[in-house]
Structure formats: structure tokens, C-alpha cells
């Protein structure tokens, strides 16, 4: 296949370059190379294949908000047609094409490297040449509501529920108030379609934009599934927050049955087909130990395949007759192990925009020509980093003390043997929902580039391995969840990978919590700890932060933490600082709403009061993670200096 041959030529080219210039041996990177923002963070291809719109950096505001703008490239001339900046503190969050000549991007506030954008976003629409720019939805709409214009200023957020590719002038928007409206992409005029049931956050629409099914969560985190009947919405299923549930995804191609995501057909989340007439469910796909994600056609109406990540990425195509399925089939066959993100496919199916990434590369954008079967490189997210210089991740698994199989990844310094290395055990945040993946991470690469092995494990409670595995971590913070991290560390030592006298634990958010409790519970196992934006007092979770402000958030905390104050304090580092014997480095964003800086100050004070060695870094203009390149440079530099001091050679 020509695409594969092209890849071989690229590989040979890299080898040739390396042999001539000895890239891997001589090229040196600085902290700036790992800390700076990516050049491109999103892209979209117009339906006719004439334009590509990119999301590109535009600095940051004085308040620490991320700033992005949109740049449109004419693929025929390879010249930009327009650059769309966003005023004030807003940033361009994403971009999508609405028809051949008009695109839309959401603009809102986003604080913190891992923070979610604020809900009150404006929808900007404009033509490919930059003309007819207008806010068509959101609080920035200039016109007041009127019967004549049907233009509404919405102070609440919403999302695009259906692009409606058969209609060049309208899209369907689902407001967070539950309203579904048809939105004119030129005027901003709104036309009521329906209202979703209370707390519904997802809707299955027919090809005309009419809702058929909906699902959501109550204030008590119960999952409710609705069906639209002749007399309105009817409840067809309800599940308590501790029960396995199923939710509708899309109408089957036969127009009657429904694709559903089901937690009730095995250990992991399954893809199934539900027949509403007889209430029977047919299994389509499930992986034995990891959850999956679905691959849909461009219009979102046809299931093409599934993706799973037991270690490396795996793909299973279910429909290769559909024009979009044919594209996916060639790409998945041609790029094994890579994370493939097909962003857009043209209406005729002849051209596709896709992104390739893996543990050594944050992402390259390509155009794939279906007729010639060739992929054309466009741009890299981080052109200054050569993937050949980066360290790869290796999937690993081990048994915990109670016999549970836990999986994760090991990153070795490039060119180093897995023997007696200084090791950083990096614990992911969440903890319930997220998981470590086979993906590029700047901080992991920075540590590996400087000689440190990095171990990342998906301890019990992590997402991605089925609800039962995730629930195993409920009310186990600082206990069995911590044991899994400890057992992983001992596994690496027993395997001869890590030097037992040169091991540090690190992490952010929940990872910061696990860092602190690792130092508390295993004072001789770790020689140091690096905690960022971490939870150090579990009782504070009920008093401060954005989770406890909502009824559903409070119920969530009760489910995953419990309410026994004695147990919460016993599993909080703030009340156990005297047990820590090794140096600690803490970093924090002062504007963090998820884990407020009260945790940081309380733990720092407790450590100082107990006479412990602690280094501190807090930034006034950062939130739940660091965004600004200068702050990330400082953080990465201080992390490395801290590691070198305590576990370096």
C-alpha cells in the first residue's frame, strides 16, 4: 500500500538524518523545549476540502488565562486566509466547520493547564476569509431578545448537539438549561426544537435534529434514561450511583434500535444494541479488561469501529463499507500503535484530516488523499522536538499484595538499560475517571531526558478498566489505593529496574495526595516527594473547592471519601506530617478552584511545624496546573534540581 511505503521512506529519512548529524547524541534540549505551549492545539477541515482551520497560541492574559486564536489555511495556495483573535480574557477553545465556507469556534475563559473551560462561552461564526464575523450564541450576543430577530443573549452555556450537514444555515444547540434550539449560523436567530428532561446532559437526535432519547444524572448522581413519547419524555431506566448503568449513544442504522454504552454486560463498559420493542440488548463489543471508545462517521450517525487501550492503542473496525469507514480502515492498518484522531472527512470522502500521536510525539497533523492513498504532512504540535530523541513508554503489569492485576507504563531514559536507575513514581490525578495512557507527557519526557526512569500505574480506582475496578477505590484513599502505588514501586525495585536508594514519588491533584501519603506511610521507600495542586486534608474537600458547592458534588464526596472525620484525618497528610522523614517539594496555583491553596498552606505549615524539609512554589496567576511557559519552566527546573539533589548521581 502506498501509504505504508511513504511511512517507510519517512523512517529511512529519519535514520539518514540521524547518521549524518548524530541527532540523538548531540542535540540538546533545554527546559524551555519541554515547557512551552504547543504550536497547534486543534484543527478542522472544511467539508469541501479547501480549507484547514487551526487553533494556535496567542499568549496569556495578565490573569493567567490561556489565549488561543484561529488561523485558516487555504490548501490550494497554502497561504492563510484569515487569523481570528479573541478579545479580552477569552480564548478560542475549539473550531469546527459548519458548511463549506463558514466555521465556528467557542470562546470562553480557561484557567489552569488541566482546568475545564468556563461554561459561559460565546459561539463565534465567520467565513473562511474572515468576513461576516459574529457572535451567534452566548453572553456576548449584542442584540437583546426580540420576537422579530429571534436573537437571544444567553448567559448560560451550551454545546453543539448536531451540525446538521444537510442544512447549510443551521445547527442544533443544547443549552445547559435543557432547551434544544435550531440556531442560524449567520444571524444567531434561535428556533425552539424541544426541551430535554431535567438534568439531561446528552441527547440522541434523529437526522432532522429532533430528540429521541436523553440521559443525565440527578442531583444524587443517579443515572436516568429517557425516551421521547407521544405525551412527552418517559423514563425507561434509572440506576443508582452505585449501580451499573447503560446510556443511549445513537440510533442504529435501521432507525429502530439504539446503540448503547452498557456497564451491565461484563467487567468493562460494553458497546451494545438495545431494542426498545422487546427490551433486549445485543452485545457488539467489549474488551476483557479495559473500556473502549467509539469511532463514528463524520455526521455522527453511523458506527464505524471501536478503540481500546490495554497498553498500546488497538482498533477494531466494524463498518468498512461506509466511505468514512474505508478511510479509518486504511489509517488503522497503516499506523499500528499510534493514537489516530480523524478530525474531519470531506463530504465526498476523498480527503481526511487526521492527527497521529504517541508517547514520543504530542501530535502531527496530516492530510490523507483517499484516491492516491498518500498521507501529506501538514504541521507538528511541537516541531522543535524530534520524536527520535524522546523516550518511549512500555506497558507493564504487576500483582498487588491482594492479588489484583494493575497495569501502567514505564518510561526509560533513551539508551539506558532498565537496571538500577533513579526512579520517579508519578501518580496520575482524578483519581476516579482518568487513567495513564500511551501518550506524550512533557514532564515525563523532561525527567527521562535527564536520566530518570518514570513509572506510572493505573491503581484501583482509576478510570478505563470498568466500573467495578473504579469502585474498588471508593473510600480507599490513602489505604488500598496507596498500597497499589507502593506495590508498583517495590515491583520496580524487585525487577532490578530501580535503585532502591534513589526513588522519588510525585504527582498532581490526587497525585499530590498520593505523594504525601506515600511519604507518610512508606518513610523508607521514597527518598523524596513532589506534590502539585494536591489534596492534603480530606476534611477540607467538604468545605472548600468547586466540588462541594453542588449537591451532586457533595454526594460524590460522600461516595468516594466517606464522612468519618477520624478516618479522613487518619488518611490526610496534614495530620500526619510528623511521620514524614524525607524532603518534600510542593507547588500550587493560587487561583485553583478544584483544590484551593488552603491545602498547600496547611500542609506546608504542618511540615514546617514538624521540622521537616520542604521547598515551596506558588504562582498567583495559575490554577489547577501551570499554564504560562515561564511558570512551567521554573517548575520543571526546580523539579529537576530537587530530583538531582535527592536521588541523582
pLDDT per residue as tens digits for the range 568-586 = 999 999 999 999 999 999 9
Percent of the chain past pLDDT 70, that is, above it, reads 92
Listed residue (312, 309, 266) closest to 285, CA to CA:
266
pLDDT greater than 60 at residue 313:
yes
Residues pairing with 393 in the sheet: 411
Rounded distance between C-alpha atoms, residue 49 and residue 347, angstroms: 8
User: pLDDT at position 12, please?
Assistant: 28
Residues pairing with 13 in the sheet: none
User: pLDDT at position 60, please?
Assistant: 76
pLDDT greater than 50 at residue 20:
no
Cα of first residue to Cα of last residue in the chain, in angstroms, is: 48
Q: Which pLDDT tens digit goes with each residue over 322-336?
A: 999 999 999 999 999
pLDDT greater than 50 at residue 128:
yes
**Average pLDDT rounded to a whole number, residues 541-549:** 91
- Integer angstrom CA distances of residue 133 from 42, 139, 465: 20, 16, 44
Q: Dihedrals φ, ψ of 129, to 5°? A: -90, 5
Q: Comparing 59-68, 197-206, 232-241, which segment has the lowest mean pLDDT?
A: 59-68
> Is 343 strand, coil or helix?
strand
Listed residue (171, 255, 267, 177) closest to 216, CA to CA:
177
- Concatenating the DSSP letter of every residue in 399-466 gives E-TTS-EEEEEEE--TT--SSSEEEEEEEPS-SSS----SS--HHHHHHHHTT-EEEEE--TT-SSS-
User: pLDDT at position 143, please?
Assistant: 55
- Tell me how crowded residue 102 is: count the other CB atoms within 10 A of its CB: 18
Burial class (CB in 10 A: 0-12, 13-18, 19+), 321: exposed
**Cell numbers that stand for 622 in this block:** 495559575
User: pLDDT at position 155, please?
Assistant: 67
pLDDT greater than 50 at residue 68:
yes
User: pLDDT at position 16, please?
Assistant: 29
On whether the 391-647 domain is CATH 3.40.50.1820, my answer is yes
pLDDT greater than 90 at residue 18:
no
Give residue limits of the domains in the chain: 391-647
Higher pLDDT, 61 or 100: 100
User: pLDDT at position 221, please?
Assistant: 82
Q: Where are the alpha helices (DSSP H) in 504-628?
A: 510-521, 551-560, 565-570, 597-609
User: pLDDT at position 187, please?
Assistant: 96
Characterize the bridge pairing of strands 405-411 and 393-399.
antiparallel
Q: Which pLDDT tens digit goes with each residue over 394-404?
A: 999 999 999 99
Given pLDDT bands bounded at 50, 70 and 90, which one contains residue 14? very low
User: pLDDT at position 27, please?
Assistant: 53
Q: What angle do CA 539, 542, 545 make, to 5 degrees?
A: 110
**Average pLDDT rounded to a whole number, residues 485-499:** 99
pLDDT greater than 50 at residue 17:
no
Q: Which pLDDT tens digit goes with each residue over 72-121?
A: 999 999 999 999 999 888 899 999 999 999 999 999 887 655 444 555 68
- Concatenating the DSSP letter of every residue in 186-236 gives TT-BEEEEEEPPTTEEEEEE-TTS-EEEEEEE-TT--EEEEEEETTEEEEE
Q: Dihedrals φ, ψ of 520, to 5°? A: -70, -50
Rounded distance between C-alpha atoms, residue 440 and residue 393, angstroms: 9
**Cell numbers that stand for 362 in this block:** 504530542
Contact predicate 377/364, CB 8 Å:
yes
**Average pLDDT rounded to a whole number, residues 608-621:** 96
User: pLDDT at position 119, please?
Assistant: 55
Q: Comparing 43-52, 232-241, 486-495, which segment has the lowest mean pLDDT?
A: 232-241
pLDDT greater than 50 at residue 446:
yes
Given pLDDT bands bounded at 50, 70 and 90, which one contains residue 8? very low
Q: What is the pTM of this model?
A: 0.91
Q: Which pLDDT tens digit goes with each residue over 32-41?
A: 999 999 999 9
Residues 6+ apart with CB under 8 A from 532: 506, 507, 508, 509, 511, 512, 586, 587, 588, 625, 635
Rounded distance between C-alpha atoms, residue 108 and residue 154, angstroms: 13
Listed residue (417, 398, 500) closest to 459, CA to CA:
398
pLDDT greater than 70 at residue 149:
no
Average pLDDT, the chain: 91
Q: Which pLDDT tens digit goes with each residue over 366-403?
A: 999 999 999 999 999 999 999 999 999 999 999 999 99
Amino acid at each position: 500500500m502506498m501509504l505504508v511505503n511513504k511511512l517507510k521512506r519517512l523512517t529511512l529519512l529519519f535514520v539518514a538524518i540521524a547518521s549524518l548529524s548524530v541527532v540523538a547524541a548531540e542535540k540538546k534540549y533545554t527546559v524551555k523545549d519541554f515547557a512551552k505551549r504547543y504550536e497547534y492545539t486543534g484543527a478542522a477541515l472544511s467539508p469541501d476540502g479547501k480549507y484547514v482551520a487551526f487553533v494556535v497560541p496567542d499568549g496569556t492574559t495578565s490573569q493567567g488565562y490561556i489565549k488561543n486564536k484561529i488561523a485558516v489555511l487555504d490548501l490550494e495556495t497554502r497561504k492563510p486566509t484569515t487569523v481570528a483573535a479573541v478579545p479580552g480574557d477569552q480564548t478560542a477553545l475549539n473550531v469546527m466547520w459548519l458548511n463549506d465556507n463558514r466555521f465556528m469556534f467557542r470562546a470562553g475563559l480557561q484557567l489552569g493547564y488541566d482546568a475545564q473551560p468556563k461554561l459561559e462561552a460565546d459561539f463565534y461564526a465567520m467565513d473562511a476569509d474572515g468576513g461576516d464575523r459574529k457572535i451567534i450564541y452566548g453572553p456576548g450576543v449584542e442584540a437583546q431578545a426580540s420576537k422579530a430577530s429571534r436573537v437571544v443573549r444567553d448567559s448560560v452555556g451550551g454545546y453543539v448537539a448536531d451540525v446538521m450537514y444537510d442544512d447549510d444555515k443551521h445547527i442544533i444547540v443544547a443549552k445547559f438549561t435543557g432547551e434544544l434550539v435550531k440556531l442560524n449560523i449567520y444571524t444567531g436567530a434561535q428556533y425552539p426544537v424541544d426541551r430535554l428532561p431535567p438534568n439531561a446532559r446528552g441527547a440522541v437526535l434523529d437526522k432532522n435534529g429532533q430528540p429521541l432519547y436523553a440521559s443525565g444524572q440527578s442531583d444524587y448522581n443517579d443515572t436516568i434514561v429517557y425516551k421521547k413519547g407521544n405525551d412527552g419524555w418517559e423514563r425507561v431506566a434509572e440506576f443508582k450511583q452505585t449501580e451499573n448503568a447503560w446510556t443511549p449513544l445513537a440510533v442504529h442504522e435501521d432507525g429502530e434500535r439504539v446503540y448503547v454504552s452498557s456497564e451491565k454486560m461484563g467487567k468493562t463498559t460494553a458497546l451494545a444494541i438495545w431494542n426498545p420493542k422487546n427490551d433486549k440488548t445485543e452485545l457488539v463489543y467489549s474488551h476483557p479488561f479495559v473500556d473502549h471508545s467509539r469511532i463514528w462517521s463524520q455526521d455522527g450517525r453511523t458506527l464505524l469501529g471501536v478503540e481500546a487501550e490495554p497498553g498500546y492503542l488497538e482498533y477494531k473496525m466494524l463498518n468498512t463499507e461506509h466511505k468514512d469507514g474505508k478511510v479509518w480502515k486504511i489509517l488503522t492498518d497503516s499506523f499500528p500503535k499510534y493514537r489516530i484522531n480523524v478530525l474531519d472527512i470531506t463530504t465526498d470522502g476523498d480527503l481526511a484530516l487526521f492527527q497521529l500521536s504517541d508517547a514520543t510525539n504530542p501530535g502531527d497533523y496530516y492530510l490523507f488523499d483517499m484516491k492516491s492513498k498518500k498521507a501529506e504532512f501538514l504541521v507538528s504540535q511541537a516541531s522543535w522536538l524530534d520524536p527520535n530523541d524522546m523516550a518511549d513508554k512500555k506497558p507493564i503489569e504487576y500483582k498487588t499484595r491482594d492479588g489484583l492485576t494493575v497495569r501502567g507504563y514505564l518510561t526509560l531514559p533513551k539508551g539506558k538499560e532498565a537496571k538500577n536507575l533513579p526512579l520517579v513514581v508519578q501518580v496520575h490525578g482524578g483519581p476516579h475517571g482518568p487513567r495513564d495512557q500511551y501518550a506524550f507527557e512533557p514532564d515525563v519526557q523532561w525527567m527521562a531526558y535527564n536520566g530518570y526512569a518514570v513509572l506510572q500505574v493505573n491503581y484501583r480506582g482509576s478510570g478505563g478498566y470498568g466500573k467495578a475496578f473504579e469502585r474498588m477505590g471508593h473510600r480507599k484513599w490513602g489505604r488500598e489505593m496507596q498500597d497499589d502505588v507502593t506495590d508498583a514501586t517495590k515491583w520496580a525495585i524487585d525487577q532490578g529496574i530501580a535503585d532502591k536508594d534513589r526513588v522519588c514519588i510525585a504527582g498532581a491533584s490526587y497525585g499530590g495526595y498520593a505523594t504525601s501519603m506515600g511519604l507518610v506511610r512508606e518513610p523508607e521507600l521514597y527518598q523524596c516527594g513532589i506534590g502539585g495542586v494536591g489534596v492534603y486534608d480530606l476534611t477540607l474537600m467538604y468545605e472548600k473547592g468547586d466540588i462541594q458547592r453542588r449537591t451532586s458534588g457533595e454526594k460524590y464526596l460522600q461516595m468516594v471519601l466517606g464522612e468519618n472525620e477520624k478516618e479522613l484525618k487518619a488518611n490526610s497528610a496534614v495530620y500526619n506530617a510528623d511521620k514524614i522523614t524525607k524532603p518534600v517539594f510542593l507547588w500550587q496555583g493560587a487561583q485553583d478552584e478544584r483544590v484551593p491553596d488552603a491545602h498547600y498552606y496547611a500542609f506546608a505549615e504542618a511540615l514546617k511545624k514538624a521540622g521537616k524539609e520542604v521547598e515551596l512554589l506558588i504562582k498567583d496567576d495559575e490554577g489547577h496546573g501551570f499554564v504560562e511557559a515561564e511558570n512551567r519552566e521554573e517548575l520543571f527546573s526546580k523539579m529537576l534540581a530537587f530530583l538531582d539533589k535527592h536521588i541523582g548521581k
